[in-house]
Amino acid sequence: MTFPVPGGPEDAAAMLDPRVIDPGEEMVRWSGIPAEEVDQIVRLMTALRGWREAEDHMSREQRRYMNLGETDMRALRYLIAAHNQGRDVTPRMLAAHLGISTASTTKLLDRLAQAEHIVRRPHPADRRSVLIDVSPATRRAAREGVGRQHARRFEAAARLSPAEREVVTRFLQDLARTGDEG
């Protein structure tokens, strides 16, 4: 078997191939797996890497377009989801969701209000609190950007059979758990 030249177009896949990065099987036991299956696993890992890079790129572009940081985008997604469910959101609820202090939440909300991404209104039952919602313009921008991307991902998942979705789900859950292991 020949391997791609470093830096060549196939280099990304080669860097995920244990035959290239771990020929002595110090970390990955691959020699008992037929070569065609190792090739298939490498293709799967390469596809996963490609999806992750595309997802990262889309997220960066959306944040750049809206001039927002990652926590700001998480806050807006939460506010949009709450709005879609008819739920009111207070700063304390948002702080709990984001896992940040109420002081950090105040700064985040000030920043979002300054950029006209959110609107604050008095809480109808608690004069000391406010309710937060996403501005209509930001809701439209999120729908056009992130919403369309989510719709395409949903459609890709819908094209799989129920059995295929279970296999993919189990694989991704197993993959997520690899980060928990020391």
pTM of the complete model:
0.65
At 102, the amino acid letter reads T
**Residues of 129-147 as b/e, b for ≥16 C-beta within 10 angstroms?**
eebbbbbeebbebbeebbe
For residue 55, the model assigns a pLDDT of 82
d(CA 182, CA 173): 17
Neighbours of 75 (CB within 10 A): 27
Position 176 scores a pLDDT of 85
Rounded mean pLDDT for each run of 10 residues along the chain, 182 residues in total: 52 80 88 91 89 82 75 92 94 96 94 94 91 93 81 92 95 86 58
Q: What distance, in Å, lies between the first and last C-alpha atoms of the chain?
A: 33
The pLDDT, as a whole number, for residue 68 is 81
Distance CA 163, CA 150 (A): 22
- What is the structure's pLDDT at 146? 75
pLDDT score, position 50: 86
